[in-house]
Amino acid sequence: MNWTFTDDVDAFLDAAGPSLAARPAENTLILTVTETLRRRGPHAYGDGAPLLGWWRGADGEVAGTLVRTPPFPPVLGSVAPEAIGPLAAALPLTRINADRATAEVLAATWPGHRVDQEQRLYRLATLTPPSPAPAGRPRAAVAADRELLVRWHLAFADQVGQSGSQAERQVDERTASGRLTLWEDGGVPVSMAGVSPQIAGTVRVAAVYTPPEHRGRGYAAAVTAEISRAAREAGAQEVLLFTDLANPTSNGVYQRIGYRPVADRLLISAAEQ
């Protein structure tokens, strides 16, 4: 009942892939990160080598996963409670992104810690598009929108406290694969929403952004409902999204169009020594 670590994403997926796919909502971050590593190589997120780990219980089944892609903090997937102690013993941790219960248990072993962010994972139940709908209509983003989209992705990253280092890549990949939707009003783009590739029957809505001058008119709800509808129509069994719990407006918007809470995640850091 030990943790096993590797820098080989294929070896990790050979061992842990079935357990991740069995609970795709709870493991959505691990699934998308490892798919990116598989497609784009070990330095997809930065110069540092990735670290991927899994834990097997007494029955031999994988019951815990971790992926670290420097400079980003380690991300935990579903982890059995009995795997948390061995993880802390095997891998020195000073920052973690994990479900609330796991993060709090790990942080309790640190001399001091701070909660940097609280997120809530939602899954789409019955889609309820806004009614009345705001003015305008949706359309797929195209290459000619690139400059605007990169600017909006950078603004979105800044708004949620994330790095914008992947903005250009995200725009190019999402546009080329039809996974980025704009809402236009009077022929002017006023809001956007993207979606991740479908993995294990799930997609995750991402980069929902409306510039400040266009907010308060229902555009974000409309474009999110549209991209969610399209994802389901394309065969996604689960449509997911994360929100920052510090933003009650966005949490309310998504619940009104049919998203329901699944679990909370915390980004926790040890106090600087």
The one-letter amino acid code at 209 reads: Y
| Residue carrying the six token digits 């609970």 | 23
Rounded (10°) CA dihedral 177, 68, 65, 254: -50
* Rounded CA separation 101/84 (Å): 11
| Residue carrying the six token digits 């918007």 | 253
pLDDT digits (tens, 9 = 90+) for 117-173: 999 999 999 999 999 999 999 999 999 999 999 999 999 998 887 778 889 999 999
| Residue carrying the six token digits 């974000």 | 220
Per-residue pLDDT of the chain (273 residues; tens, 9 = 90+): 789 999 999 999 999 999 999 999 999 999 999 999 999 999 988 889 999 999 999 899 999 999 999 999 999 999 999 999 999 999 989 999 999 999 999 998 888 889 999 999 999 999 999 999 999 999 999 999 999 999 999 999 988 877 788 899 999 999 999 999 999 999 999 999 999 999 999 999 999 999 999 999 999 999 999 999 999 999 999 999 999 999 999 999 999 999 999 999 999 999 764
Count the Cβ atoms, other than its own, within 10 Å of residue 115: 13
pTM of the shown model: 0.92
| Residue carrying the six token digits 């889609």 | 127
Q: Which residues contact 228 (CB under 8 A, 6 or more apart)?
A: 124, 127, 205, 239, 257, 258
How high is the pLDDT of residue 168?
A: 93
| β pairing state of 238-244 and 51-56 | unpaired
Give the 3-state secondary structure of residue 240: strand
Count the Cβ atoms, other than its own, within 10 Å of residue 41: 10
Give the 3-state secondary structure of residue 149: helix
Inter-residue contact 96 to 73 (CB < 8 Å): yes
Burial class (CB in 10 A: 0-12, 13-18, 19+), 148: middle
How high is the pLDDT of residue 161?
A: 77
Count the Cβ atoms, other than its own, within 10 Å of residue 11: 13
Give how far the C-alpha of residue 38 lies from the chain's centroid of Cα atoms, to the nearest Å.
Answer: 17
Token pair belonging to 71:
């400079």
